[in-house]
Amino acid sequence: MPRKPTGHSSRLLPVRPLTFSPFARSVARVATAYMVKHHARDAMQHSAGDEFKKLKKVERQSESSEDEEFDGVVQADFAFFDPKPDDFHGLKTLLQSYLDNKEWDLSGFVNLILEQTTVGTVVKLEDDEENGVFSIITALNLERYKDHKCITELKEFLLSICLEKDKIGNLRSLLGDKAHDVGLLVSQRVVNLPPELLPHLYDALFDEIAWATEDEPTEELRNSFWFKFYIVVSKIYKHKNASQKRSSSTDEGDAFIYVKPEEEILHKLSMWSFLFPLQTQQVAAHELKNYQLNGIVMAVKAEDISSFRQQLHTLINES
Amino acid sequence: MATRLQFENSCEVGVFSKLTNAYCLVAIGGSENFYSAFESELADVIPVVKTSISGTRIIGRLCAGNKNGLLVPHNTTDQELQHLRNSLPDQVVVQRIDEKLSALGNCIACNDHVALTHTDLDKETEEIIADVLGVEVFRQTIAGNILVGSYCALSNRGGLVHPHTSIEDLDELSTLLQVPLVAGTINRGSEVIAAGMTVNDWTAFCGSDTTATELSVIESVFKLREAQPTAIVNEMRNSLIDSYV
């Protein structure tokens, strides 16, 4: 029943480029290059309170910068934590564009995530005084929280932006009568978060969900984590000419470019998905000039998750 | 009375608005809810003017003003300047100043009598501030921060400063400003006071994440509970109107 905290890593090298906010400082610290040091110690390490879940990370080629100059290499130790009330502002910043530019009860949504400490992981730097949040992953049962304003607004939003007639029926049923089996999979991170963390992050989430089905104090709560479906709301780049007949030449590029690598796997495994146009202005990088950023909503069956986890491990370990 | 509101999911109300005793500026592009929250509190009393500064919406941080005048940065366009001059009351002098520190709202914290400024502000700018805004100018820091306009919200009746301001600093500033000061936070623990709220002598607008405790501190230090707009405006009217014919 107790979760085993595993391997512990070394200290953080304080390198400070010039930025103006605590959050930007945290991000800039990890900015261009990074290393994640790994100590393959599986001995049970002491963890200060059971709020920590530390993680084994892979040992890599590292150049550590001994001097104070910022030569582009930053050493960073990421640790996984349970959501805490202090993370409010960091999480709110990460989730700012979750529902495009709709005005909704974002603060309430963040509070929901923070209150669910049994399932949900926040990625922060170890011993970071500024408490910068780098990533969040959690799964929220849509029925359990159906009375909260943020969830009602979220459901309304999803139903309103679904323009595909054949998918809207499915969506309505998942948000309506099947809601008690549906988990909203929320996964947001800073753009340059090392991908090596992803398999561990998703493993942590799905393991916590499995543990919650046994550990939660009431039967109702235990059942609320027996998800049969997951809904994912995110953003992807779609090729502007994708709807035209595609010639055999592949210099057109891929039809979709995924901001988050694991979403490629999820998209393939999904039962159904639909795209929706975004209203916020997007600044396109040169490489992405043929692509348009769209929102995407996907529904994945829970039985496909183990395959997802395996494929994610393979994908990250190969690249 | 203090009101909680949001600008497009952001609780940084003081970034997108500027409130004084004679006028209120709001940014363009927020939803009508934002604009109407100001209108419903202020409509009969002072003009609420929608504007941009230098094409941006962060007007609260770019300009500094009080009932006597408004200072805008050098990159304000001519149309914006004209729009402001047309929409604001005649006694409010709108002046565009050439100052390399162009985020005037971050560099200057002022009420109708006294102003705190960034330590590196030009001497000329200091003179213009004293002249246009009709205030006494003091170069100060707040809790070691030079951006006094960001870490302090000031009205004629009180002020709220950065939470880490020491007691000695609080006393010193309070003597300079001649108003009671309190160190506190806004928007659930944010230290950037002036970004999270905007205040004048009878009302305040705070971000919607502001907790009830923070709100009660604000209402007590700015003495908003008994304040009525009519009292202030009547005072002003007496000094503006020479005689009734």
* Nearest-by-CA chain B residue for A107: B209
User: With contacts defined as CB-CB under 8 Å, which chain B residues touch A157?
Assistant: none
Q: What is the mean pLDDT of residues B93-99?
A: 95
Sole residue written with tokens 């502000």: B121
pLDDT above 60: residue A9: no
**pLDDT, tens only, A79-127:** 999 999 989 999 999 999 898 888 899 999 999 999 999 999 999 998 7
The C-alpha of A203 sits at a distance from chain B's nearest C-alpha, in angstroms, of 32
User: With contacts defined as CB-CB under 8 Å, which chain B residues touch A101?
Assistant: 8-9
Give pLDDT, residue B106: 96
Give pLDDT, residue A62: 35
- Which tokens go with A192? 């340059």
Give pLDDT, residue A241: 75
User: With contacts defined as CB-CB under 8 Å, which chain A residues touch B6?
Assistant: 103
Give pLDDT, residue B180: 95
What pLDDT band is residue B231 in, cutting at 50, 70 and 90?
A: low
CB A276 within 8 A of CB A295: yes
Secondary structure class of B208 (helix, strand, coil)? coil
Give pLDDT, residue B245: 66
Q: Do A89 and B208 touch (CB under 8 A)?
A: no
In this predicted structure, which of A50-54, A203-207, A210-214, A266-270 has the lowest mean pLDDT?
A: A50-54
Q: Phi and psi at residue A135, in whole multiples of 5°?
A: -160, 155
Tell me the DSSP string of A247-306. PS-GGG--SEEESSTHHHHHHHH-SEEEEEE--S--PPPGGGTTEEEEEEEEEEEGGGHH
**pLDDT, tens only, B193-226:** 999 999 999 999 999 999 999 999 999 999 998 7
C-alpha distances in Å from residue B158, one per residue of B39, B153, B173, B179? 24, 9, 11, 5
* Nearest-by-CA chain A residue for B31: A103
pTM, rounded to two decimals:
0.77
Give pLDDT, residue A150: 93
Q: Do B33 and A103 touch (CB under 8 A)?
A: yes
ipTM tops 0.85: no
User: With contacts defined as CB-CB under 8 Å, which chain A residues touch B9?
Assistant: 96, 101-104, 106
**pLDDT, tens only, B24-50:** 999 998 788 889 999 999 988 999 999
User: With contacts defined as CB-CB under 8 Å, which chain B residues touch A106?
Assistant: 9
Give pLDDT, residue A73: 81
Which of B8, B189, B190 lies at the smallest CB-CB distance from A101?
A: B8
Calculate the average pLDDT of chain A. 78
Give pLDDT, residue B238: 62
**Chain A interface, best mutation among B7, B8, B9, B31, by max A CB count within 10 A:** B9
pLDDT above 70: residue A67: no
pLDDT above 60: residue B242: yes
CA distance linking residue A212 with residue A221, whole number of Å: 8
pLDDT above 80: residue B177: yes
Q: Do B9 and A89 touch (CB under 8 A)?
A: no
The C-alpha of A315 sits at a distance from chain B's nearest C-alpha, in angstroms, of 36
Which of B8, B31, B188 lies at the smallest CB-CB distance from A88?
A: B188
CA distance linking residue B218 with residue B183, whole number of Å: 10
**pLDDT, tens only, B163-173:** 999 999 999 99
Which of A89, A103, A106 lies at the smallest CB-CB distance from B31?
A: A103
How far is the first Cα of chain A from the last one, in angstroms, to the nearest whole number? Answer: 34
- Which tokens go with A135? 């990533």
pLDDT above 50: residue B17: yes
CA distance linking residue B93 with residue B91, whole number of Å: 6
* Nearest-by-CA chain B residue for A97: B9
B8 at the A interface (CB within 8 A)?
yes
